[in-house]
């Protein structure tokens, strides 16, 4: 697994001001009007050869979850100890550190374009957020079989 921790240079984001985003009710459409505050969500996607993560009013644990669920090839735990909510926009390369986890048969969304490749994930995390990923060991799920029998007719 990976742990998200504060980099040696220190955390770089300022907390979001209270009311800086609009709470979103899951299952309802996301429609913004011009000049409207952003929704309080985390959105991960792609642009050309790059990943993007946009977040408003979200904790660092949400970032770890986005990295864990879709972008890296292993779980990511937030071990920063940082509380509060933040706004951030990240653009980083789709590479060996951010290979993506797509269902079998899912076509790659990273199609050739004129968009230049961004910096690697570890560089962007450190330069823009003051965070880094480190290899770690953590909780693991196991299945324990207490007994087994032949099926009966």
Percent of the chain with pLDDT over 70: 99
H-helix or E-strand spanning residue 64: helix 60-66
**Number of C-alpha atoms within 13 angstroms, CB side, residue 99?**
6
pLDDT per position as a tens digit, 64-97: 999 997 899 899 999 999 999 999 999 999 999 8
pLDDT per position as a tens digit, 118-133: 999 999 999 999 999 9
For tokens 């076509």, what's the residue? 107
Domain ranges of the chain: 2-135
Residue 91: what pLDDT?
A: 97
Across 30-44, average pLDDT? 83
Counting other chains too, the contacts that 100-104 makes at CB distance below 8 Å and 24 or more residues apart are 100/51, 100/70, 100/71, 101/69, 101/70, 101/71, 101/72, 101/73
CA-CA-CA-CA dihedral for 112, 115, 120, 121, to nearest 10: -100
Across 30-41, average pLDDT? 81
Query: Residue 141: which pLDDT band, with cuts at 50, 70 and 90?
Result: confident
Across 112-121, average pLDDT? 93
Residue 39: what pLDDT?
A: 87
Across 40-61, average pLDDT? 93
Residue 88: what pLDDT?
A: 93
SS3 54: strand
Residue 57: what pLDDT?
A: 94
């Amino acid at each position: 697994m990976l742990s998200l921790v504060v980099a040696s240079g220190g955390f770089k984001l300022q907390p979001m001001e209270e009311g800086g985003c609009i709470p979103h009710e899951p299952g309802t459409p996301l429609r913004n009007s011009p000049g409207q505050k952003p929704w309080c969500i985390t959105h991960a996607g792609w642009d050309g050869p790059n990943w993007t993560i946009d977040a408003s009013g979200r904790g660092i644990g949400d970032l770890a979850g986005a990295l864990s669920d879709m972008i890296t090839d292993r779980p990511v735990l937030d071990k920063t100890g940082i509380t509060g909510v933040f706004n951030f926009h990240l653009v980083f390369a789709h590479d060996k550190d951010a290979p993506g986890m797509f269902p079998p048969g899912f076509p790659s969304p990273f199609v050739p374009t004129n968009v230049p490749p961004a910096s690697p994930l570890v560089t962007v995390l450190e330069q823009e957020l003051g965070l880094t990923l480190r290899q770690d060991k953590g909780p693991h799920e196991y299945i324990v079989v207490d007994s087994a029998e032949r099926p009966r007719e």
